[in-house]
Structures are given as structure tokens and as C-alpha cells.
Amino acid sequence: MLKKLLFPLVAVFMLASCATPPTTIDVSPTISLPQQDPGLMGVTVSINGADQRKDQALAKVTRDNQLVTLTPSRDLRFLLQEVLEKQMTARGYMIGPNSPVDLQIIVNQLYADVSQGSVRYNIATKADIVIIATAKNGNKMTKNYRSSYNVEGAFQATNKNIANAVNSVLTDTIADMAQDTSVHDFIKQNAR
């Protein structure tokens, strides 16, 4: 009886030890929201997102002499579209079609460059996000938000280390978007 239980249990543990770590990075930045503008009266904006990165990888690392490609847990264009919708709603805008100003949020770059040796690793993360505001009257505005973040640690970089670096650079970029009023000012000037 004991052999019947023990053998499958040992087999499960042996297989579990051979399992490879997941190849997704949990992308969950902290979302900063701006102050509400009480002067907005029923202004609607439309928002869509785009991912224009050449490579969909967030990072590429060498593990057990193999190059492993790490991808985001969420579609970045939808994540950033959701962030911008929350920020615009917090300012007092309504989100919907047929608006006087269309906003597009574009991910140009989001990547963690991971270098690791036998005793240390370095993660250099960069984000480049653009918001393009296009008014129905023909006026257009482009605003870039860029951020970078570096971190070092002992031994090998884990998925969690890389996720923390990616989330940190995204959180900084989102905070810049919340504090910046240039897109908000453009909408107020062109929504009439």
C-alpha cells in the first residue's frame, strides 16, 4: 500500500523540479490619478491604444544556457488605454465616441535590458509612451513621456526582479502623465 502511494508522489516531485519558470512578467503598475477639474462640463473624449514596439518581448534572459523571452501578462495597449481612461475620468471627462478630441496612447518602447554574470545582475528598464491628441477642428498635439530605471542585485535576475523593474518604470511614466496638464489644456482649448 505504501509503495502504491510513494511511487506516484516521488514521480510528481521529480516532474515538478524539472518545470521551467513561467515566461510572462506580471505587469501591474501603480496608477496615479490627477486632480478633478470642476470647470469641465460634459466634455467627452475618445481613447484608443496602440503598441508599436518592434518586439513584443519585455526582456530576454539567458537561463540554463538558453535564451528565454519574457512577455507581458497583459496586452500593453489595453493596459495603457485603461490607465488613460481612468486618468481622464478622474479629471472629469466622459469617455465615448463622437468626441471633439480623440486621444491615442502609443507604446513606443517598454523593455528591460537584463545583463547578468555569476554573482550580480543589472536590469536597465526604459519606457517611451506617446499621447497624440487630435481635435475635430484639425489641431493636433503630440506629447512624449519617457522614463528609465536601473537596479542591481545578487546572483541571477528572477521574473519577479524584472517585473518590479518594469512596473517601477511604468509607474513613474504614469505618474508623469497624471501630473502633466498639456493634453488636458489642449482638450479644453479645442473641445468647443
pLDDT one-digit tens code per residue, 87-113: 999 999 999 998 999 999 999 999 999
Q: Given this model, what pLDDT does residue 72 score? A: 95
The answer regarding whether domain 40-191 maps to CATH 3.50.50.60 reads: no
**pLDDT band for position 17 (50/70/90)?**
very low
Closest alpha carbon to 188 in 133, 108, 143, 151: 133
3-class secondary-structure state, position 22: coil
Residue spans per domain, the chain = 40-191
CA distance linking residue 3 with residue 162, whole number of Å: 43
pLDDT one-digit tens code per residue, 118-133: 889 999 999 999 999 9
Closest alpha carbon to 48 in 101, 126, 93: 101
Q: Residue 75: is its pLDDT beyond 50?
A: yes
Least confident of 14-18, 52-56, 99-103, 180-184: 14-18
Tell me if 187 sits within 8 A of 43, measured CB to CB. Answer: yes
* Average confidence (pLDDT) over 151-179: 95
Stated as kind and residue range, the H or E segment containing 121 is: strand 120-135
